[in-house]
Amino acid sequence: MAIEQLNETTFLIEFAEHKGVPPLLQVSNTYQQILSELKKDDLISLVPASHSLLVEFDPAATSAVTVRQALELITAQQNSVLNKLTMTGAEPRSYKIPVYYHPSVAPDLNTVATQTGHSVDQLIALHCSVKYQVLAVGFLPGFAYMGSLPKRLELPRMATPRLKVPGGSVAIAEAYTGIYPRQTPGGWHVIGRTPLAMLSPLDNSEFDDSPSLLKVADQVSFHAITQQEYLDAGGELAD
């Protein structure tokens, strides 16, 4: 990551692929961290692009020196997180996520199967065949970008995002899979739903010191469950 001051009120952060993590995911993660670390009144705008993030601040509210120091700290933290992806010695945390793959909770399951040239059973088997790594957590709190999706399942994001995607929805887009931690608009293809909670209060020891279950460098695999298993685990069929 490189930080350049373009003028008196604007910085540009540029990203390159790092430890196999695409620039776009780094942009998303940094965008979210800037929003949480800098005061809202200090910012005029944040403009993300595929390989960069433009940060415009209000000189009446803060100074260029203060903003640069904050951005340098944020990018240093991001580099530290990215380096965890290739650290040796420490055993990565591993999760097996149960998923109910069925059109009643997965409106795109049949369409994705058709578009990728597979039966639904083949699609499910392919999605469950990979051990994914959490590459970034961004877009919204608790949303983990996991890669890489099998090439045969890769699809672009939906042209028209849904206004409401239920929490727990397991979805795919491009080379990634992810789980929506709560109900939100979204443009990924929903192929299943998990009964597991992706977000929890900070005082829940199961989630360590973060409200997000999944963290960068975690390893994740998926396995199919029946409707009864899904319901027994607290899953809901209604949106």
| pLDDT tens track for 21-59 | 777 677 777 877 888 788 888 999 888 776 888 999 999
Span 134-178, pLDDT tens digits:
887 777 778 888 988 999 999 999 999 999 999 999 999 998 999
188-to-143, 154, 164, 170, 175 alpha-carbon distances in Å: 12, 11, 11, 9, 11
- Closest C-alpha to 149, from 168, 120, 172: 172
The residue type of 3 is: I
Q: Which residue has the tokens 């910012």?
A: 43
For domain 94-232, say whether CATH 1.10.10.920 is its number.
no
Report how far residue 201's alpha carbon sits from residue 206's, in angstroms, rounded to the nearest whole number: 10
Q: Which residues contact 125 (CB under 8 A, 6 or more apart)?
A: none
H/E run at residue 15: none
Span 60-113, pLDDT tens digits:
999 999 999 999 998 888 777 666 655 544 566 899 999 999 999 999 999 999
pLDDT above 50: residue 207: no
200-to-16, 81, 128, 182, 214 alpha-carbon distances in Å: 32, 21, 25, 11, 11
Length of the chain, in residues = 239
Q: Which two tokens stand for residue 220?
A: 């994740």
Q: Which residues contact 23 (CB under 8 A, 6 or more apart)?
A: 15, 16, 17, 50, 51
3-class SS letters over 177-235: EEECCCCEEECCEEEEECCCCCECCCCCHHHCCCCECCCCCCEEEEEECCHHHHHHCCC
Q: 134 and 216 in contact (C-beta within 8 Å)?
A: yes
Q: What is the DSSP letter of 161?
A: -
- What CATH number does the domain located at 2-86 have? 3.30.1360.40
> 48: how many CB neighbours lie within 10 A of its CB?
14
Q: Where in the chain is the domain with CATH 3.30.1360.40?
A: 2-86
Q: Where in the chain is the domain with CATH 2.40.100.10?
A: 94-232
Q: Which two tokens stand for residue 14?
A: 């540029």
